[in-house]
Amino acid sequence: MADEQVTLTIDDQTVSVPKGTKVVDAAKTVGIDIPVFCYHEKLGPLGCCRMCLVEVEKMPKLMTACTMDVGPDMVVKTTTPKVEKAQKGVLEFTLLNHPLDCPVCDKGGECPLQDNTFKYGPGDTRMEFHRAENLKMGPLSPVITLDRERCIACQRCTRYSEVIEQDSALVMHNRGFNNEVGTFNNESYDTRFSGNVIDICPVGALTNSQFRFKARTWDLTNSDTLCAHCGCNCNMTLGTRTNQFMRIQARPNDLVDDGWICDKARWGYDFLESSNRLKEARTLPDGGTMLFSSPTTQDAAVRTAEAIRNIVAEHGPESVGFIGSPYGTNEELYLYQKLFRSGFGTNNIDHKVYADSPGLPIDHYDVSDIETSDLVLAIASDPTEELPILDLRIKKAVTRHGVRLAVLNDQATLMDKYAALSLHYDIGADGKVFSALTAAISGEGKADVKNTGIKADQLKSLVEMLRAGKKITIVYNPAALTGKSIHGLNQLLAMIKNIPSVECGAIPAAPQTNAVGAMDMGILPDYYPGGLPVLDSESIKQQWGENAPTEPGLSALEMIERAASGKLKALLVYRANPVVDFPGGKKVEEALRKLELLVVHDMFETETAKLAHIVLPSNGPGYDDGTTTNIGGRVQFRKGGLKTTNPPDWKIISLMANALNEEGDRVNYITSFSVTDEIAKKVPGYGEISKRSIKKEGATREPPANNNGSGFEAMDSPSPNADALKLRIANYLFAHDKILDASSQLAHQFQPSIVHLNKKDAKKLKLKDDDDVVVVSGDVEIAAQVEISDRCNPGGVVLPNISDEQGVWGLANDRDGVTWVEIRKV
Amino acid sequence: MFAFSKEAEEKIEKILKKYPEERKRSALLPLLTLVQRQERHVNPDAMREIGRRLDLSPAYVQSVCSFYTMYSSKPVGKYLILFCVNISCQLNGCDVLLAHTAKKLNIEIGGTTNDMKFSLHREECLAACSGGPMMRINDTFYENLTAAKIDQILDSLD
């Protein structure tokens, strides 16, 4: 087992490492550098480049340190004349056809070939013949440039494609003397994780087209930061020069990302300089209430606070509300809830349109627990599109650690291919499935699978798998559940925990960057930070003062309803775009238009910002510092990197708070960490979080207590007519939205609007592939093309959200149940 | 679009039975061979189809296909001549004979006659060193070649 230690000697140093470690990695632990090209610790041994030759006592020939396991009492020497001669020889061969164009090569300065040549190489070459001439620069994809002359055929990139991404899209053609890296039929290499090959290429053969010839690597200012696109919170390095964005690279943190980032992380940062950004504060020029003209951001913040306070004074605290964003940092969200609760006295605070509450009835597992589990149960989650690095982690667990995967979903996903058992329930039947599964595990009540699309024996197989599990990780996407079925899921989780001899935990895998943090920070109408229920008035008054509101507030959707009926007067929307992302479409817009005061604090000119009376610019990721909590409950620091004259959001929010306070009560935070320190004091579970504790790998926060004790009963949603189908809105990683706008590097990944229909329904509706249709619900019509597949069970359709313009959420008229749609041919 | 012939489908059924389901990728070379025989080359559509059946990426199929000289990316003639140019044949004068063959067929080495009858390819060792110089035409080995013998062999093929 991994615990067994082996002791050996490398260059006269004694090294103790776990059995199975390769000599090259063992040497690294004592600071001995054995040069490599083809070896990469995440890819495992190959031994094709011969760079890592070492001498081992009692072995007649030189050995490759990257393929050799450590052995007890092994004596390894890495600096003998024999080794040095071999290293020189190997490098001379490696450099035979390598153009020495380092002065113009983007890899220069961070190139293993360059470094190894300086350190171990010959000063000269005996090569007298013409060097091979190959493609000097060509697009491997719209974002990766391939220089075949520089390639040393180490196969890191092709093995990455095979071992890590597991789609073998990048391969070695013409194996042998003329081998070259390529794709099928010279197609573009555009997968979801293609960019990692740039980081692992040990030469300048694969380079980032965006960064090409932009700057020398040693001139960059590198900020260690996090990706802000999804709940994985992968670690990355933001390279800037003269305060301009240059590039993004992976920054390995095995506990979070295992060393990889997806292409959205690498190339999805054009928004930093998007023309659609809100650069300054503004007020509605005409119509509405003309509050004041051309304000500074600071001014606008103060006036916003005063305007909301005036409305509170006139109509009461229940007349104002806050819709936050699961994309904000913990600091920003914490300060906003504090402003609305302590400053305006309301609990009308929310950040989501699906049902969920803080805390889990079982342990909150970290992402790395997936690898040490023996069973992973993925529920309603599509990691490939929602949390890409989770997709890689699950694939790795299944294929390399022998973890079994069970899938329970209403749509087919890429995970099915890796699943030992994959059950597809009917869209909207999630609640019933959870109840049936709970009953089947407990043995009490009837495990009723009627009208779920799952057969009784399938359910039985799943129960058997769960019963046989030793350590089970349940990954679920709360945002993909319908109605209140999250409560049914919580009961199921509690039931799994009760299975004797099972150790289990869950990862709530909502796609948004800080979905976990937003719940923890109490951006909820019924919970204060740390999962403290508003009804627990005693604890609240103790923690938050006598005046803290203890009446449950309105949810985001209720706020929109109240705005429509004129009861809600003022709304502050922080980095959210309800007009596009909330169910209801036009109705949301009409409701927001009725508000006396709509303040939008956002990075972009969104459809919602266009309606706002006051607009406050938000710098967001890349500029502002803050912490976020990932799906595994790990809190990490997201450093800004770029500078701007606009104040950071935490400052804007504290300006608002201070505008309401008497001079003595004003709080002046110095950095974002001053807010983090306050969070540590005020938010249960975050006590250990500090600048220091999260510095290296982040730190997991204590999960809040679980409060979902309430009973849950699944309900049927009756079909309005015979041709109606249940709608599942799916996620697409590269959706064309405000983040990936038309000028994005990833624009080639945008997809057309496609509605996925089951064969049975297509036959019934007389539709065939590529038919142009509209998906209709009420008076909303979304144009789409038909694709017939078994992506969902009969009776449903899957419609991926591919752009803001498509506006799929306009179809969803009722988030509390199932949305029924009709498909009409155009 | 590519489709396997009826006979090929029957063979595929037999071939796939030889390997356990989780090791069905082992059928890659036999299937590529079927395509090469049927189409006289392996085109991307066929690679895609093989990949689909064996659960392999088309790129992987192509990477295997591009390694073996038995498979060609462009259509070859009815008779594919693989002319050994490895050391034993080389020492026995294969270069002259190869040039002779090319001249007789009036094509470049690596080319195909206009009537799609003959293709002539260089080949590394075909494991018949005792009989060099030698060539392989489709599935038949011809050994101890001379110019006259080559003429006679080529003339006898229709």
Check A171 against B60: CB less than 8 A apart. Answer: yes
Asked whether residue A582 is assigned to any structural domain, the reply reads yes
Shared-domain flag, residues A486 and A571: no
CB A618 within 8 A of CB A649: yes
CATH for A384: 3.40.228.10
Question: What's the pLDDT at A288?
Answer: 47
* pTM (2 d.p.): 0.94
Residue A435 has pLDDT above 60, yes or no: yes
Among B44, B48, B62, the residue with its CB nearest the CB of A171 is B62
Residue A581, pLDDT above cutoff 80: yes
Are A542 and A672 found together in one domain? yes
Question: What's the distance, CA A654 to chain centroid?
Answer: 28
Please state, in angstroms and rounded to a whole number, the distance separating the CA atoms of residues A515 and A619: 19
* Average pLDDT score over residue span A10-20: 95
Q: Spell out which residues of chain B touch residue A168, defining contact as CB-CB under 8 Å.
A: 56-57, 59-60
Residues A381 and A348 in one domain: no
Decide: A19 and A34 in contact? Cβ < 8 Å. no
Prior bond to A383 cis, omega within 30?
no
Instruction: Assign A168 to helix, strand or coil.
Output: coil
**How many CB atoms sit inside 10 A of residue A242's CB?**
8
From the list A170, A174, A176, the residue facing B59 with the nearest CB is: A170
Mean pLDDT of A38-55: 95
Domain-ending residue, one of A444, A474, A508: A508
**Cβ atoms A138, A145 nearer than 8 A:** yes
Asked whether residue A826 carries a pLDDT value surpassing 70, the answer given is yes
Are A349 and A378 part of one and the same domain? no
What's the confidence (pLDDT) of residue A12? 95
- Mean pLDDT over A738-757 rounds to 95
Mean local confidence (pLDDT), A679-705 = 95
Residue type, A29: T
Q: Residue A516 pLDDT more than 60?
A: yes
Query: B127 burial class (0-12, 13-18, 19+ CB within 10 angstroms)?
Result: exposed
pLDDT at A815 over 60: no
* Longest pairwise C-alpha distance within chain A: 91
Kindly state whether residues A549 and A532 are assigned to the same domain: yes
Task: Tell me which residue in A170, A176, A185 faces B67 most closely, judged by beta carbons.
Answer: A176
Q: How many domains does chain A have?
A: 5
Together in a domain, A472 and A529: no
Same domain, A436 and A297: no
Q: How confident is the model at residue A287 (pLDDT cuts 50, 70, 90)?
A: very low
A456-470 as b/e: b if 16+ CB within 10 A: eebbeebbebbeebe
Residue A754 pLDDT grade (very low, low, confident, very high; cuts 50, 70, 90): very high
Judged on CB neighbours under 10 Å (0-12, 13-18, 19+), A298 is: middle
**What is the percent of chain A where pLDDT is above 70?**
98
> Would you state the pLDDT for residue B4?
95
Per-residue pLDDT tens digits for A214-255 = 999 999 999 999 999 999 999 999 999 999 999 999 999 999
CA distance A172 to chain B (A): 6
Q: How confident is the model at residue A716 (pLDDT cuts 50, 70, 90)?
A: confident
Q: What mean pLDDT do residues A721-747 have? A: 94
Q: How many CB pairs under 8 A join A and B?
A: 39
Q: How many CA atoms lie within 13 A of A781 on its CB side?
A: 10
Q: Does residue B29 surpass a pLDDT of 90?
A: yes
Question: What residues make up the domain containing A411?
Answer: 369-508
Distance from CA of B45 to the nearest CA of A (A): 10
Q: Is there a contact between A168 and B57 if contact means CB atoms under 8 Å apart?
A: yes
Is residue A470 domain-shared with residue A384, that is, in the same domain? Answer: yes
| Interfacial residues of A (vs B; Cβ cutoff 8 Å) | 162, 167-176, 182-185
Euclidean distance between the first and the last CA atom of chain A, given in angstroms as a whole number: 63
* Minimum Cα–Cα distance from A179: chain B residue: B67
Q: How many CA atoms lie within 13 A of A741 on its CB side?
A: 15
Q: What is the pLDDT of residues A169-210, one digit of tens each?
A: 999 999 988 899 999 999 999 999 999 999 999 999 999 999
If one counts every other C-beta atom within 10 angstroms of the C-beta of residue A273, the result is 12
**Boundary residue ending a domain (A463, A480, A508):** A508
- Together in a domain, A251 and A290: no
Band (pLDDT 50/70/90 cuts) for residue A665 is: confident
Q: Comparing A326-330, A389-393, A467-471, A666-670, which segment has the lowest mean pLDDT?
A: A666-670
Q: How confident is the model at residue A283 (pLDDT cuts 50, 70, 90)?
A: confident
**A479 and A388 within one domain:** yes
Digit-coded pLDDT (tens) for A452-493: 999 999 999 999 999 999 999 999 999 999 988 999 999 999
Q: B57: which chain A residues are within 8 Å (Cβ-Cβ)?
A: 167-169, 171, 184
CATH number for the domain whose boundaries are B79-156: 3.40.30.10
**CB spacing of B62 vs A169 below 8 angstroms:** no
CATH of the domain at A592: 3.40.50.740
The arithmetic mean of pLDDT across residues A624-645, rounded, is: 96
Residue whose entry in the numeric block shows the structure tokens 């990477």: B63
Residue with the larger pLDDT of the pair A293 and A375: A375
The answer to whether residue A364 sits within a structural domain is: no
Chain B positions touching A182 (Cβ under 8 A) are 59, 63
Angle at A138 between CA A134 and CA A140, to 5 degrees: 115
Out of A105-114, A124-133, A631-640, B110-119, which region has the weakest mean confidence (pLDDT)? Answer: A124-133
Whether A719 is in a domain gets the answer: no
The average confidence (pLDDT) of chain A is 94
- Minimum distance, in Å, between the CA of residue A194 and any CA atom of chain B: 15
Q: Are residues A663 and A575 in the same domain?
A: yes
Please give the Cα distance from A609 to A602 (Å, whole number). Answer: 8
Residues of chain B contacting A183 with CB distance shorter than 8 Å: 59
Give me the residue label for tokens 């164009």. A101
In chain B, domain spans: 6-65, 79-156
Q: Which residue has the tokens 């209140």?
A: A484
Residue A707: inside a domain, yes or no?
Answer: no
What CATH number is given to the structural domain containing A213?
3.30.70.20
pLDDT mean over A688-693 = 96
Contact A346/A528 with Cβ under 8 angstroms?
A: no
Output DSSP code: residue A664.
G
Mean pLDDT of A583-591: 90
- Mind giving me the DSSP string for A319-367? GEEEE--TTS-HHHHHHHHHIIIIIT----EE--SS---S--SSEE--T
The answer to whether the CB atoms of A174 and B67 lie below 8 A apart is yes
Q: A41 to chain B nearest CA, in Å?
A: 23
Give me the count of residues in chain B. Answer: 158
Q: Does A709 score more than 70 pLDDT? A: no
- Residue that finishes a domain, picked among A700, A734, A750: A700
Tokens for A716? 């049927």
Residues of A in contact with B59 (CB under 8 A): 168-171, 182-184
In the predicted model, what is the mean pLDDT of residues B3-27?
95
CB contact under 8 A, A168 and B59: yes
Q: Do A168 and B60 touch (CB under 8 A)?
A: yes
Burial label, A28 (beta-carbon count in 10 A; 0-12, 13-18, 19+): middle
Residue A100 maps to a domain = no
Is residue A438 assigned to a domain?
Answer: yes
In a domain, A716, yes or no: no
Residue B126 CA: distances (Å) to CA of A301, A358, A682, B132, B143 = 82, 70, 79, 10, 11
Structure confidence at residue A74 (pLDDT): 96
Q: In terms of domains, do A546 and A410 share one?
A: no
Question: Residue A293: is its pLDDT beyond 80?
Answer: no
For range A566-590, the mean pLDDT? 94
In 3D space, the residue among A510, A634, A546 whose CA is nearest the CA of residue A254 turns out to be: A634
Side chain identity at residue A124, one-letter code: D
Of B44, B56, B63, the CB nearest to A175: B63
For the domain spanning B6-65, the CATH number is 1.10.10
Let me know if residue A114 belongs to a domain.
no
Whole-complex ipTM: 0.91
User: How many CB atoms lie under 10 A from the CB of residue A495?
Assistant: 20
A414 chain-B contacts, CB cut-off 8 A: none
